[in-house]
Structure 1
Amino acid sequence: MPRPIYAEINTANIKSNFEIIRGVNSGQKMWSVVKANAYGHGISNIWRHLNSTDGFALLDLNEALLLRKEGWTGKILLLEGFFEHTDLEIIDEHQLTFAVHSDWQIDALRNYHFANKVDVYLKVNSGMNRLGFTPFEIGNVLNKLRRIPYINSVTLMSHFANADTREGVIEPMMTIDNLHTPENVEHCLANSAALLWHRDTHRNWVRPGIILYGASPSGNWADIADTGLKPVMSLKSKIIAIQHLKKGDAVGYGGNFRATNNQTIGVVACGYADGYFRTSREGTPVLVDGVRTGLVGRVSMDMLTVDLTSCPSACINSDVELWGEHLPVDVVANAAGTIGYELLTALAPRVTVRVI
């Protein structure tokens, strides 16, 4: 019998989330972001359930080629562009759209003879200070790109550092609106947070990422609880052992938890080698047979332990939800000192994935 831990991917929920997001924007075209193997959900598991999207956005050429191999013939955007001159051959063959954020990339484009016209996303550094050209450079760079005969269109793209706050896009949008560029240049600006909370950023293309998977861009589940978005991944396991502690008995490595009274503890087949964070604190919520309880003791490589006081009927093989449809990943992540993005993308390869 295989170890009783698995991630369940609910395709009905990702379809529903996609339609909700379609309803939030104002008719803009949509890149569905599937970077990091679809935020840990598996590109192969989800792309067909998003095939009414206008395009897929990702980072890795191998993931782009996977989409092509599996039958997606539509648009694919490489969010960080290309990393080597030799990547252009693959980009040309598979007709990929890509970001340009550095001078060396422009030089590479000038020196490569494309067989097909290509669409380019010009990255504007509007305050994030990661990738992109400064606002003062954009006009000149845009002119350079437009003089390259193989380039079909140039779209301005930027990314917001603080779109999950009320005032977070004001300065970046002022920067973008003050650019000296032709009026007919399309914009792709809105990430998940901006799409939900800053309608003025929507422009021509939007780029939903984490909200497709039913988690919050702010890291706070309450911020999206009334949107209808639903978690797509549920991490599930079983109780594999039960321990009856006496007052003073310790649990786990280091013995940092000790029972203050007689206490029943459940051992769950899940640990940090499965992607569950070792930093998760005592009390991090867990569902056992649908009843909310919490961690006790340290998370180890293959197991963790939970307090069964609130679920006295729990037994060997009782169902456990570590996060998912009934326990949002953002809630668990907060208790672990991280964000839902990190838990979802940290799912370990050894965890079986079931698509429903």
Structure 2
Amino acid sequence: MLKQFFIICSGADTDILKTCSVGEQNKYAGIGATVLFTAIMAFIAGSYALYTVFDNPYTSIFFGLIWGLLIFNLDRYIVSTIKKTDSLFKEIIQASPRIVLAVIIAIVISKPLELKIFEKEINQVLLEQKNQMTLANKRQLAEQFLPTITTLQNDIENLNNTVSIKEAEVNALYNTYIGEAEGTAGTNLLGKGPVYKEKREKHDALLAELQLLKAENKAKIIGIENDIANLKSQYNLQVATSQTIIDNFDGLMARVEALGKLPRLPSFFIFLLFLAIETSPILAKLLSPKGAYDLKLEDEETALKTHVLQNKNQRDALLKTDYAINDRIYSDLENEEELYTYKRNKLRELMQLQADSFYKKQKNIL
């Protein structure tokens, strides 16, 4: 039962193969088993590749099954359409497009399995890429927010400097009127005289301005600090949002690119393995001698071709003979006086009827 199933997978004519030897049947059963296992590998590879895209096992298995059936049908068609001839060169020419197709199928099948086999190494490459992307993203976002934040911080520093300058002026006036009172500066007279009062009034007025300036600048600084806090909050929000995108940077294309950065020799050997599996049925048919199955299949095909050619030639001869007979018949009828007289009388009656009809129409018009 299993052997019969493998023969069906090979695409061979089961009715013809039943009349062949056991060895011939085993050869095509082996070819069919190779076709089947290649399709199973394609199903596994396709399911994994699609799982990296959809992140859903049921969807991946469904489309992977379709992909496996497609590869099975292609391989079965490739093997079944290679015909054994007496010339190896003709067989190679006949199989060359199918070998190219087999190479393409091997590449498509092997790549998803390479992604799974080297998954840990690919994850390490992706981690390094994500870290680089994170740093680059923070730098880019900082370039958007940092100039504005720096400007606002400079405004705060300018406001603080204005207060400091005003405080220095107030302290200078304070020292001046204290020195006047103690007699150590100004008039050098001990006591609170007119000059002391003048200096004290200037100090008090400037102190009131300082207090007012401090209150105004404090309100401005609070507003600016709120703006800086909002900008930093926006920066952190954008960093968090973009980090989510970076963390999800592990799709199929990203993994394929990461695989390309790994040493190519292991991947090449895996590709050669699948190429050998994919082309083995074709090579088996090319290298094997013409067997009983090939001879019987060729006999049936040539018999049918001969029958079709015979029918075509018979129809061509029949048509040619019919043309010749018709030419002779019309040639003989051309000289018969009775046929001429009959047709002449009928044509005369027709012309009379046409004349009568024309006469009636003209009469009605008048």
Range into which the TM-score falls when normalised by the shorter chain: under 0.3
Q: Which of the pair has the greater relative contact order for Cα pairs under 8 Å at 6+ separation?
A: 2
Identify the structure with the greater helix proportion.
2
Q: Name the TM-score, length of structure 2 as normaliser.
A: 0.19
Larger radius of gyration: 2
Identify the structure with the greater strand proportion.
1
